[in-house]
Amino acid sequence: MLVTGSSRGIGAAIAVKAATEGATVAVHYVRALDKGAKTLERVRAAGVEAEAFRADVANGPQAEALVGEVIDRFGRIDGLVNNAGLTQVSPFLDITPEVWDAVIRTDLSAAFHTCRAALPSMVERGSGSIVNIASRLGQMGIAETAAYSAAKAGLIGFTRSLAREVGQRGVRVNAVAPGVVVTDMTTDLVESEEGKRRMRDMALGRFGRAEEVADTVVFLLSDRSALFTGQTLNPNAGGYMP
């Protein structure tokens, strides 16, 4: 399986959790070679075959080449997790076209390219599971996250459409929409006044952990979720109840 953006945070937790369940794992990073190597070490500690791959998935040809490299290395991709993402927090009128395009390329278009490259072999085998990491912000929206919310909402729509198209060919496509998850990337938010405001939205009275999101993703990758496709599961501590 391939997990994009798995050098840290939620992606790393997914890679490690999948490894503990016996999956062969392709770890992906773009700049953080040291963190990618650390994730790879944790994955291999579970006793599975694994390798790390570098690519900028915001670049379409690189995203598709990444999938090809993983298939060349391991022979197939049974599970694809589109986790790589770029956050954006700023008033709408402060968003430059360059920032808008970068967020859309990373958070939405990258999934188009990886799926485009991975699906032919999945369809040929008649099996495969794709999980796209969305966000509750793509479901409810929030001020000053227009680019991010738009990209994640698009990812949910993409998931549903693709699930209908490839379901009868043996491939399942689902999404996971976490709420605020405590990682090194969200430390500033969690400790800010905005973080305190969002905490009040959490019915469970706490934010999530990356490992809890990983449990949901690995469930969707596994045969235990055989009847799930086109779904968006919401490990969000009750921060949004669709």
DSSP string, 137-167: HHHH--TT-HHHHHHHHHHHHHHHHHHHHHG
Closest CA to 175 of 187, 191, 158: 158
For the question of residue 148 being annotated catalytic, the response is yes
Specify the residue for token string 């075959």: 49
From 29, 112, 148, 207, the catalytic residue: 148
Provide the angle, in degrees to the nearest 10, between the axes of the packed helices 33-44 and 9-20: 20
Residues that are catalytic: 148
